[in-house]
Amino acid sequence: MDFSLSETQRMLAETTDRLVRERYGFEDRKKILAGPDGFSRPMWATFAELGLTGLGIAEEHDGLGGTMGDMAVVAETFGRALVVEPYLPTLVLGAGPLGLAGSDAQKSEILPRVVSGELFLALAHGEPKSRYTLCHVDTKAAADGGDFLLTGAKAVVLGGDAADYFLVSARTDGTTSAPHGISLFLVPRSVPGLAIRAYPNIDGTRAADLVLDRVRVPASAVIGQAGHGLPTIAHTIDRAIAYLCAEAVGAMQALNALTLDYLKTRTQFGQPIGAFQVLQHRMVDMEMALEQARSMAILAADRADDPHPHERARAVSAAKVQIGRSGRMIGQCSVQMHGGIGITDEYAGGHYFKRLTLIDRTFGDADHHLARFAAAA
Amino acid sequence: MDFSLSETQRMLAETTDRLVRERYGFEDRKKILAGPDGFSRPMWATFAELGLTGLGIAEEHDGLGGTMGDMAVVAETFGRALVVEPYLPTLVLGAGPLGLAGSDAQKSEILPRVVSGELFLALAHGEPKSRYTLCHVDTKAAADGGDFLLTGAKAVVLGGDAADYFLVSARTDGTTSAPHGISLFLVPRSVPGLAIRAYPNIDGTRAADLVLDRVRVPASAVIGQAGHGLPTIAHTIDRAIAYLCAEAVGAMQALNALTLDYLKTRTQFGQPIGAFQVLQHRMVDMEMALEQARSMAILAADRADDPHPHERARAVSAAKVQIGRSGRMIGQCSVQMHGGIGITDEYAGGHYFKRLTLIDRTFGDADHHLARFAAAA
Amino acid sequence: MDLKYSDEERAFADEVRAFARAELDPAVRDRVLNHKRLGKEDFLGWHRKLHSRGWVAPNWPTTYGGCGWNAVNRYIHEEVLAEEGAPPLVAFGVNMIGPVLIAFGSDAQKQYYLPRILSGEDWWCQGFSEPGSGSDLASLRTKAVLDGDHWVVTGQKTWTTLAQHANLIFCLVRTDASVKKQEGITMLLIDMNTPGVTVRPIITIDGEHEVNEVFFDDVRVPKENIVGEPGKGWTYAKFLLSHERSGIARVGQAKRELRRLKEIAAAEMVDGVPLIETKTFREKIAAVEIDLMALELTNLRMIAAEKSGQAPGAEANMLKIKGSEVQQNLTELLMEAVGPYALPFNPDALEPGWNGEPIGPEYAAPLAGTYFNYRKVSIYGGSNEIQRNILSKSLLGL
Amino acid sequence: MDLKYSDEERAFADEVRAFARAELDPAVRDRVLNHKRLGKEDFLGWHRKLHSRGWVAPNWPTTYGGCGWNAVNRYIHEEVLAEEGAPPLVAFGVNMIGPVLIAFGSDAQKQYYLPRILSGEDWWCQGFSEPGSGSDLASLRTKAVLDGDHWVVTGQKTWTTLAQHANLIFCLVRTDASVKKQEGITMLLIDMNTPGVTVRPIITIDGEHEVNEVFFDDVRVPKENIVGEPGKGWTYAKFLLSHERSGIARVGQAKRELRRLKEIAAAEMVDGVPLIETKTFREKIAAVEIDLMALELTNLRMIAAEKSGQAPGAEANMLKIKGSEVQQNLTELLMEAVGPYALPFNPDALEPGWNGEPIGPEYAAPLAGTYFNYRKVSIYGGSNEIQRNILSKSLLGL
């Protein structure tokens, strides 16, 4: 049993910590958000220089390799700085399933260009009516000669604003909620018939809704085996959740630190408000919520690539429940203890609150994962 | 809109208040519990003298009449004093359904003797496997000539230790959970084939488990129409819940008063513990929980005889949820703020906590009634 | 005991409802129900309709053009209008400075200001909070010095709701630093157009502009714009806050939001089943509905007590706390109901008359923002912690 | 990072488990698992078995007959035994006074008392709390005056766990009333059979006798029965409390209770469906299971930190709080699971060897009582409020 960081992880932590400390302060972030893309391409280039865009990608494709635990170290730092660049979409949701199931040709074509910082990716899986149900896929892939014609709609595709390639799920078989018959396709952004509506999310990240109208892709665009895409998608989403858990821990830690600082410096009635026992105890509870969340985020990263999908699902869902609840409690209590300032745009606290709230809405909320965990128990 | 007590209610409140103040202190209650019956027959005689055993019983059967709201006034006082005499079993669960559905002969035979304080009654409806499901009845009533033979088991029959007559539910038709086919029978205690195991409950009230082995009763023992007992039973249980809600409000009020007094008198660190903000705010929350519970108890009493069973069920279940939650919160917080003394047998506080806890377990806990309310919405 | 309204009360509720249905601009109603942005004219148009019916000021005596209603009718009026989707009455004039002027204002002030409040000609805002004085209001530092016929005011107010629409502000200012902090405070009425008054928007995390900072830089205020006597401002403020309590639990609004929640939960599907029919979500709705039922009854009990002559006391603080919990619970469930569609940020969709293509279901756009925004309701008007402090002292004697 | 035990650690856990399964009297195990009453011999029999294996004192150095294990092995030992249904080690000797004597006791005390703790010959109890001194322990008033070769002790202790079995008590007494309250306290070792010592049972609301009052009426205690120096009792007590922390989260016990909860919820039926398969109850179990997973990992993280040389600090207070919440949650769900059968009170059924007919399912009898009794776990050893006060200061600097 050993909870200490590996050498690689310590280096990653130092590198990313220094980067965000020097270049991703709250004011830097504001400027980045106000820019034309809503995120910073130069920052992305720096990620590439530092090797961050090679994490989790095999060395044969120019990557650094690395486990979900390694990515979690980056996620946590990014959570502390509320990084908005599409790292989760490109690396975890995009490069991840390509690495898991992609053909050699697909991997060779895409992954080195991800590592170099040249490409953004996005997973276009969720649909307007799918909510959090992974097997709910209405988008159809009709065989047409040697090609497929994709028709349907995809909703709230994270990083979909910037993606150069989409990993699109579509049915080659089966009815709406059948677990079988779902295939995953690699689709370039510029393909005819693909309409993209990009937008910001309320937490500063970005997404897009897609409409596919007979989008033609060759058979070689199938990622993995046709009709058997769901296990890859489920694994990918579990990895993404592990990433989000670590990111949330970073955000909670930063928000707790801000709140504690506020308790010590804000004075009312002639004393720091941290002298009031009710606020003291609440702050203690927030720290406990953080520690419980951190424990479960560690577990989720550890199990995200567990060979037994059942074990993986249990651990990841349990973690997502814990993160949802801790994040909600910390976010709400932090705002309350800050008073009005806590919900102003110009103060960082409220932005952590927003991010934590939306993480709970992403890939299944606490209720969803409590039910998934209970069903898997 | 008028929330003030009627003249009758004010009189009832004064009478019962004086009675428990003078004769039902915590030490009196201890002696009563230690007695041979676990309750006081002289006390019951006093109830009869004061007319309390005539409440809710029609004047033609020597009763005083009166609404559930009137009984709730008594219930609240009894809750404050943790009265253990079988008032709920005899008046609400026994005389109630007789008044609602009994034949003239049954009413004339039983009710005047209830009013006079001569008889105790009990509703034997719940069964070992029925939990909180009212239509779950396995006890069978087989027609035999003009008689019925009752066979089955009844569980946790409140007041079953002392009851002179039982109102026993049994199936004349239908399978275990069918809403139709349930009949209610008036069964004297001494009938052959009826085995009674009486016991105390952990809160000082008493109950019994019954085993019926071919208990013979005449057709005239059927209360109301054979096979149509469930609506009467459901109405009765809703009335009993309304009673319990009022009783719980009395218990919460008393427990809050004890706790507040403790906060003011117990000193630690050189000051009354009520000077600590965390305990102050918790005490405020307990008062709010009481006020919300009181509001819902008023509603439940008001609707307990609503001609629309749907309206009645919604209001009563909502109240039971509120009472369950308020009672739990007040009970747990009170013990916590008292420290060890809060769970000693010699201090009254813990006994309120127990009673409130068991009220939540009686006729459906908060989860059960939340589901019932939600289904009726 | 009778939990139902009397025939007269029911008739009055019907009358209010009929009025709202007949007079409320459907476009405005739609904006209220759907959490879209309300413009100044949306508030004012409705205000004028209430005025023409004589219903602007339920809590004022008839002498001053108010309704002179009892507590029950005031409650019915407010709750029914809220349920029907009427814009909230802008409270600063009618419910806040109005009663203060009636009680403590000079005859000239009453004659000048009260009719203009009723007609909607003046829009008031409130200058109480300061950056350093939130929960500890009495520590405020904006100061006013008498210079001939004028008070010269310098300082800063914050959290000033809708100051961008206001032409008048009532302010607490420090006029005497040498006495106990509560005793050196004076209440002034200030024209927002006076030179030296600057309004700076505060944008909240939902991207909205509702509150402001107001700066006073040597602002000259005519001497007669004082309310009552110098140094009595704290007394007037406490009087004002105790009169802000009508409808403090916001039961009508909560009922409206509960209805909306049920509609949305019926439209959202989970694995082919409407969200409202899934056990977990249905019971979450049920739980808040029960909370609201209890709150409404508690409110009615207190209203009935007030009607029968008991002054509103500590109970108002309870209603504030429970009311804020119910409101926040509802906004949270509304956000939860739309699942992933809580993420997109589309402030344009909140603009009156916006005709664009919604992202996801049309009702989704405001929900996350409203949830974030509504964290304020347990903060403003004295945070729930302050409410509990007050209750601990006044109700429990701790 | 490696969340799994090492091979050595796993092997050790297997060894402990095998030992428990081989040596634990099945009747005692059954009483532990089913919340029946444990007699003195149940504790002592198991204590002697551990002693014969050399496993009584994981936290003592080997010099004194302890195991000298690191934090991880201590944790494994404690949690595995708890999971297996072993009676809890009576902590007062091994975990409380033992470490104090090792650190501060005289050679004579060490030589006399330590072996008797290991063998189970002595049963210690703790004399800290007094009726007027609960959370504010340092305000204790039991006093000891030196009279020749004896301390004369007068006063009262309370909440003395299992004092009815004990032959020795370690007491905090006031020996100097003229100094700061923490500085006038001395620790004495007192034979319970000394004239003037009286034990009075305290019955708890579950009808059980677990705690006691202990009265001292001019009790003469040999002078040499002082621990360390006079006036240093508070220091020793703080040392003792910091050593009471091993296994403070009671993860092993919680796992055992979770397993039991699942068994009972599988046996209970609701409308023809096992309770554990109903959505609401299943998810309540899932929620506490997740809480427990998080607690176990948090505990392991802290154990690992301790093993690598970091002293256990504020984290222990967190484990105490969360551990008590999980335990209380489990006892509450166990009670809920049996529905109406939570009501009957049948203390006879808890007696070893009782052969009567149960009321309802056999497992139901102890559940409500255990729920009531377990409210103590957020009170004893420093209430959760005190734990939060400590964390606020030590961890947060507030």
Task: Say how many Å lie between the first and final Cα of chain B, rounded.
Answer: 24
Do A146 and A108 belong together in one domain? no
- Among B268, B271, B278, most A C-beta atoms within 10 A, so best to mutate, is B278
Q: Name the token pair of C70.
A: 């009892």
Q: Name the token pair of A238.
A: 């579990």
| Average pLDDT rounded to a whole number, residues C102-116 | 97
Instruction: Give the end of a domain, one of B118, B152, B178.
Output: B118
What subunits make at least 3 CB pairs under 8 angstroms with C? A, B, D
pLDDT, residue D245, reads 64
Catalytic residue (one of D208, D244, D257, D268): D244
Q: Which residue has the tokens 């139901």?
A: D364
Residue of B nearest to C294 (CA): B292
The reply to whether the predicted model has a pTM over 0.95 is yes
Q: How many domains is chain A built from? A: 3
Quick count: other Cβ atoms within 10 Å of Cβ A271? 11
In a domain, B1, yes or no: no
Do A23 and A104 belong together in one domain? yes
- Among C372, C377, C398, most A C-beta atoms within 10 A, so best to mutate, is C372
Q: CB of A354 within 8 A of CB of A203? A: yes
In a domain, B66, yes or no: yes
At C268, is the secondary structure helix, strand, or coil? coil
Q: Note the pLDDT tens digit of each residue in C209-236.
A: 999 999 999 999 999 999 999 999 999 9
Question: Domain ranges in chain D?
Answer: 7-89, 124-231, 247-394
Are D205 and B268 an interchain contact pair (Cβ–Cβ within 8 Å)?
Answer: no
Are B202 and D202 an interchain contact pair (Cβ–Cβ within 8 Å)?
Answer: no
pLDDT, residue D311, reads 66
**Exposed, middle or buried, B150 (CB in 10 Å: 0-12/13-18/19+)?**
buried
User: Structural domain of residue A133, as residue ranges?
Assistant: 122-227
Chains A, B: CB pairs < 8 Å: 8
Q: Note the pLDDT tens digit of each residue in D81-104.
A: 999 999 998 889 999 999 999 999
In a domain, B54, yes or no: yes
Are C283 and D280 an interchain contact pair (Cβ–Cβ within 8 Å)?
Answer: yes
Q: Name the token pair of C347.
A: 């402030």
| DSSP string of C312-330, one letter each residue | P-THHHHHHHHHHHHHHHH
In a domain, A2, yes or no: no
Do A114 and A156 belong together in one domain? no
Q: Note the pLDDT tens digit of each residue in D18-58.
A: 999 999 999 999 999 999 999 999 999 999 999 999 999 99
Do B239 and B362 belong together in one domain? yes
Do B150 and B195 belong together in one domain? yes
Q: CB of D266 within 8 A of CB of D205? A: no
- Could you tell me which CATH number the domain at D124-231 has? 2.40.110.10
Residue of B nearest to C283 (CA): B374
* H/E stretch holding B302: helix B277-303
Are A202 and C206 an interchain contact pair (Cβ–Cβ within 8 Å)?
Answer: yes
Per DSSP bridges, beta strands A222-223 and B182-188 are: unpaired
Sequence-ordered list of residues with C-beta below 8 angstroms from that of B310, at least 6 positions apart, any chain: B376
As for the ipTM of the complex, it is: 0.96
Do A354 and A247 belong together in one domain? yes
- The answer to whether residue A306 neighbours chain D at the CB level (below 8 Å) is no
At C383, is the secondary structure helix, strand, or coil? coil
| Average pLDDT rounded to a whole number, residues C149-166 | 97
Task: Report d(CA C60, CA A318) in Å as an integer.
Answer: 56
Are A295 and D391 an interchain contact pair (Cβ–Cβ within 8 Å)?
Answer: no
Per DSSP bridges, beta strands B165-171 and B121-124 are: parallel
Are B177 and D335 an interchain contact pair (Cβ–Cβ within 8 Å)?
Answer: no
Q: Name the token pair of C259.
A: 């209805």
pLDDT, residue B372, reads 97
Residues in chain C with CB shorter than 8 Å from the CB of A201 are 343-345
Task: Report d(CA C303, CA D278) in Å as an integer.
Answer: 42
> Of B210, B241, B244, which Cα lies nearest the Cα of B78?
B244
Q: CB of C292 within 8 A of CB of C254? A: yes
Say which CATH class D247-394 falls into.
mainly alpha
Please, what is the angle between helix C384-394 and helix A277-303, to 10°? 140
From chain C residues 244-303, the ones with a CB under 8 A of any chain A CB are 268-272, 280-281
Residue of A nearest to D395 (CA): A284
At A242, is the secondary structure helix, strand, or coil? helix
Q: What are phi and psi of B153, to 5 degrees?
A: -135, 145
- The answer to whether residue C201 neighbours chain A at the CB level (below 8 Å) is no
Instruction: Give the end of a domain, one of A87, A118, A149.
Output: A118
Q: CB of C182 within 8 A of CB of C139? A: no
- The answer to whether residue C283 neighbours chain D at the CB level (below 8 Å) is yes
Residue of B nearest to A278 (CA): B278
Q: CB of B232 within 8 A of CB of B101? A: yes
Are B295 and C282 an interchain contact pair (Cβ–Cβ within 8 Å)?
Answer: no
pLDDT of B32 over the 90 cut: yes
Q: CB of C102 within 8 A of CB of C110? A: yes
Do A207 and A158 belong together in one domain? yes
Confidence of residue C244 (pLDDT cuts 50, 70, 90): low
- Among C273, C278, C279, C281, most D C-beta atoms within 10 A, so best to mutate, is C279
* H/E stretch holding A301: helix A277-303
At B198, is the secondary structure helix, strand, or coil? strand
Do A13 and A104 belong together in one domain? yes
| Average pLDDT rounded to a whole number, residues B57-66 | 97
Average confidence score pLDDT of chain B? 97
Nearest-10 Cα torsion for A62, A64, A68, A74: -110
Confidence of residue C308 (pLDDT cuts 50, 70, 90): confident
Per-residue pLDDT of chain A (377 residues; tens, 9 = 90+): 788 899 999 999 999 999 999 999 999 999 999 999 999 999 999 999 999 999 999 999 999 999 999 999 999 999 999 999 999 999 999 999 999 999 999 999 999 999 999 999 999 999 999 999 999 999 999 999 999 999 999 999 999 999 999 999 999 999 999 999 999 999 999 999 999 999 999 999 999 999 999 999 999 999 999 999 999 999 999 999 999 999 999 999 999 999 999 999 999 999 999 999 999 999 999 999 999 999 999 999 999 999 999 999 999 999 999 999 999 999 999 999 999 999 999 999 999 999 999 999 999 999 999 999 999 87
Q: Note the pLDDT tens digit of each residue in C43-72.
A: 999 999 999 999 999 999 999 999 999 888
Q: CB of A115 within 8 A of CB of A86? A: no
No. of H helices and E strands in chain A? Answer: 12, 10
Sequence-ordered list of residues with C-beta below 8 angstroms from that of C139, at least 6 positions apart, any chain: A268, A269, C132, C133, C181
| Average pLDDT rounded to a whole number, residues C349-357 | 91
- The answer to whether residue A36 neighbours chain C at the CB level (below 8 Å) is no
Do A219 and A241 belong together in one domain? no
- The answer to whether residue B280 neighbours chain C at the CB level (below 8 Å) is yes
- CATH code of B363's domain: 1.20.140.10
pLDDT of C1 over the 80 cut: no
Do B217 and B249 belong together in one domain? no
What subunits make at least 3 CB pairs under 8 angstroms with A? B, C, D
Catalytic residue (one of C244, C257, C315, C336): C244
Residues in chain C with CB shorter than 8 Å from the CB of D280 are 279, 283
pLDDT, residue C206, reads 96
pLDDT, residue C71, reads 86
Confidence of residue D244 (pLDDT cuts 50, 70, 90): low
Do B254 and B359 belong together in one domain? yes
Are B281 and A278 an interchain contact pair (Cβ–Cβ within 8 Å)?
Answer: yes
From chain D residues 209-238, the ones with a CB under 8 A of any chain B CB are 211
From chain C residues 351-390, the ones with a CB under 8 A of any chain B CB are 385, 388-389
In a domain, B2, yes or no: no
Instruction: Give the end of a domain, one of B197, B227, B257.
Output: B227
- CATH code of A199's domain: 2.40.110.10
pLDDT, residue B369, reads 98
**CA of A277 to nearest chain B CA: how many angstroms apart?**
6
Partner residue facing A131 (CB), from C203, C339, C376: C339
Percent of chain C with pLDDT over 70: 98
Are D388 and A280 an interchain contact pair (Cβ–Cβ within 8 Å)?
Answer: yes
Residues in chain C with CB shorter than 8 Å from the CB of D279 are 279-280
Q: CB of A160 within 8 A of CB of A212? A: no
Are D283 and C283 an interchain contact pair (Cβ–Cβ within 8 Å)?
Answer: no
- The answer to whether residue B155 neighbours chain D at the CB level (below 8 Å) is yes
Beta bridge mates, D174: D143, D185
| Average pLDDT rounded to a whole number, residues B334-350 | 97
- Among C325, C394, C396, most B C-beta atoms within 10 A, so best to mutate, is C396
Partner residue facing A344 (CB), from C205, C344, C360: C205
Are D342 and B361 an interchain contact pair (Cβ–Cβ within 8 Å)?
Answer: yes
Please, what sign has the CA dihedral across residues C25, C26, C30, C36? negative
pLDDT of D312 over the 70 cut: no
D41 tagged catalytic: no
pLDDT of B280 over the 90 cut: yes
